[in-house]
Structure 1
């Protein structure tokens, strides 16, 4: 049943919707990254190389995510979005739980492919719903709260995953962390109301001559010629390559380089990510909104500065011989990097037509996951295997460092380039 604007805007309820979608995003990331804390156990049981682990942790998940991402975004632009989120969440949670029944490399690969199938339908409708619950001037902070799920997900995956793995083994860890997502999907379906589509951007839609979804190729041409959209997507994709690299490889790196258990590493990383990531996400969104009052160019400028400052912290943290210093340098860079996500997501959503948001979000996610998950982890694993004879246990650290330097340098330049497009084509917010 459709709701009047005043019934779906303002007040507490829209924050309930935001929190539900943030929790959905949290389970999305948990189910992707719980394998990180389990890598050493899975590798030992199935006798796998770092290259195979990279394929399981990243590439396997990404294959169907890439194939289904854009169709899922198109579907989000024309169907009931909250139903789509609920069904996707239930599907990927079930497939994540089934990872615990894997018999070897290939069955685990198939289960990870299934996780990617479900998660392809999660983010596009979620960010589209949020854009219809929050006005443009508060969108960065709303997206910052939503993006906090990307921080809470690894916290749950690392802390709970490490403790559960020590207590029950890696198989039951997948099951215990996967099944609650099905319950959340049911609650979301029963309690979240579908908002009226594009109500904050009606004037922009009328100027374009359409309030209905255009044919696919028309939409793609519109997005391809949208300078803000293209540049933000590229910049944020390079930003997330090292973020995903650390998310997947930091735990096994600490286990290999320092005398710590899975449970200890999980608790350390969980505490670090929670302490730095949640305030970084939320405060970064508020700061970007505040600076953008002076000029919309401040959103990409802020992202460029934060990414540039992240680089030295993350480039040197894996060279430290102290666990405490490694974690301290990592958290400093992590706070800076995640603070850009609210601004980046809001720039994408505000730069496109209401009927393009789901497609735009899916293309953005596709680009991020192609580089960050599809290519990054496997490439790092391959470099680690090839450098092992020369550098021993440090080969994995050097592979991650090389990825950090190249990716964050590119991201900084691309965000500065985005500011020029914003100057010429101001974001509607």
Structure 2
């Protein structure tokens, strides 16, 4: 535990820390996705191929994010977490701003690699800090507020990025969106206090006689074996990964689907989808966390059970969304499904963090993020593209719709099964740590 760690006693300050970390998450997503709205301008100026664009937009970020995620999580379990967040945020924001100074493919690729390196160190320590600021009975709502950043990030990256690019060009877009992150990193370093690591776990552990792992980090392989045999962690990670496959799929493919199936421009699509994200996503993230905490007071198994139910109910909405002949109904069905799906994120993140030892939380968060990004961001969209190409002769412009539906139905069904499976491992005794190894 850092010598600068201080006890925290709840109150308003912890919500200040939570909002700062939520804004960090927002810039994480925005700096990652802004590239997509700038692709055509960058491609034209540097005369790049689609393969090079694919490397810049996806591979350059994802590869290093995945490679460095677990080491960064490991570091978060034994160092000052708020300092790590501040440094990571400032680094990826600086590298994002430097994208605007690129003179060709290779310099832009190096800057994008830097964005991935920095962002790998942001998520795990943020979730770990929040877990030590909020008691277990209010953790889902706190994680729901934190996850609002995942809604505000795309809105900032897509909407603000597009508007800035139209007014000032793609280079200044990177700079204007990058500089505020550097400033926020400095604010976090100066104003966020490092909470005492594992204080809520320690309280529960003292009641049940299990206090090992609160302060001392175990060797890497010991930690990995501990996580592998932790049924709650293992099952939640699988459930959340399958939940995010269709989430990423819709984020990437819904815009071209709307433009192919309806007479709308890219600007109109951006307004429609950005509005749906803000109007539906922000309250869903927050209220979903509150609802999961309320249900868990009656029975802690309701956290994963609520997730399973919400994920299942998403399936018909998103299926009808892609089968509708009306733009208005398509958007309405999408928004309903989106509200249900993102309402699970607070509970899911809290289950990951509360099921592991305090000195495992950064590593646990990194592993969860790694699998989610690998399946949802690295494999899912590409698989849908291949399916759409293969089905084009049979289904024409609807081939993409059917591909997304197929992947979404299978993934969400698997996610619901895994969340139900998590419920079987959750202990009902609230006095004991949430960790479980039973079947």
Settle same-fold status: TM greater than 0.5.
yes
Which residues in structure 2 correspond to 1:377-416 (within 5 Å)?
Answer: 377-388=381-392, 391-416=395-420
* CA distance, structure 2, for counterparts of residue 425 and residue 58 of structure 1: 44
* Alignment pair present for 1:227 and 2:231: yes
Whole-Å Cα distance in 1 between the matches of residues 273 and 290 of structure 2? 25
Distance 2:162 2:264 in 1: 12
CA deviation after TM superposition for structure 1 residue 30, in Å: 1.0
Is the counterpart of residue 353 in structure 1 residue 357 in structure 2? Answer: yes
Following superposition, the deviation at residue 106 of structure 1 comes to 5.6
Partners of 1:37 and 1:158 within 8 A in 2: yes
Tell me the TM-score normalized by structure 2.
0.89
The range that moved more, 61-70 or 225-234, is 61-70
Q: Quickly say closer, same or farther: Cα 1:311–1:64, change in 2 above 3 A.
A: same
> Are the aligned partners of 2:300 and 2:428 in contact in 1 as well (CA < 8 Å)?
no
Structure-1 residue corresponding to 2:321 = 317
Q: CA RMSD in A?
A: 2.5
SS in structure 2 of the partner of residue 132 of structure 1? helix
List structure 1 runs of 4+ shifted beyond 6 angstroms.
Answer: 424-427
SS for the counterpart of 1:306 is helix
Structure 1 pair 160/4, CA: closer, same or farther in 2 (3 Å)? closer
8 Å CA contact 1:307–1:412 kept in 2: the answer is: yes
Matched length: 426
In structure 2, distance between residues paired with 1:329 and 1:173: 32
Name which of structure 1's ranges 10-19 and 391-400 shifts more when overlaid on structure 2.
Answer: 391-400
Deviations 1:51-110 (A, max 9, x none): 776554433321111111111011001111111101111121222233445566665544
Deviations 1:333-387 (A, max 9, x none): 1100000001001111111111111111111111111111122233333334444
How far apart are 1:403 and its partner, in Å?
2.0
Alignment counterpart, residue 217 of structure 1, candidates 210, 216, 221: 221
- Cα drift, residue 137 of structure 1: 0.9
1:199: which partner in 2? 199
Using the size of structure 1 for normalisation, the TM-score is 0.91
Taking the aligned partners of 2:391 and 2:116, their CA distance within structure 1 comes to 30
Give the corresponding residue for 2:25.
25
In the superposition, relative to structure 1, how do residues 312 and 38 fare at CA in structure 2: closer, same or farther (>3 Å)?
farther
Q: Which runs of 5+ in 1 are unaligned?
A: none
Aligned pairs for 1:360-375 within 5 A: 360-375=364-379
- The residue number in structure 2 matching 1:242 is 246
The match for 2:98 is 98
SS at match of 2:88: helix
- Residues 180 and 252 (structure 1 numbering): CA distance in 2 closer, same or farther, change over 3 Å? farther
Equivalent residue of 1:207, what SS? coil
1:299 aligns with 2:310: no
Residue by residue, what CA displacement relative to the aligned partner does 1:311-343 show, whole Å, maximum 9, x if unpaired? 121223233333222211111011000000010
Q: Tell me, which stretches of 5 or more residues in structure 2 are unaligned? A: 435-439
> Are the equivalent residues in 2 in contact too, given 1:163–1:263 (CA < 8 A)?
no
Matched-pair contact (CA < 8 Å) for 2:321–2:329: yes
Answer yes or no: is 1:428 the counterpart of 2:430: no
Per mean C-alpha deviation after superposition, the further-off stretch among 22-31 and 317-326 is 317-326
Deviations 1:379-416 (A, max 9, x none): 33333444455555444433322321221111111111
Once the two structures are superposed, the pairs formed by residues 26-105 of structure 1 within 5 Å of their partners are 26-39=26-39, 46=47, 48-49=49-50, 56-102=56-102
**Paired residue for 1:2?**
4
Cross-structure match for 1:13: 13
CA distance in 2, matches of 1:397, 1:133: 43
SS in 2 for 1:116: helix
1:176 matched residue in structure 2: 176
Give the secondary structure class of the aligned counterpart of 2:197. coil
CA distance in 1, matches of 2:92, 2:358: 27
User: Structure 1, residues 246-291: CA drift from partner, whole Å, max 9, x if none?
Assistant: 2223334334443333333222222111110111000000100011
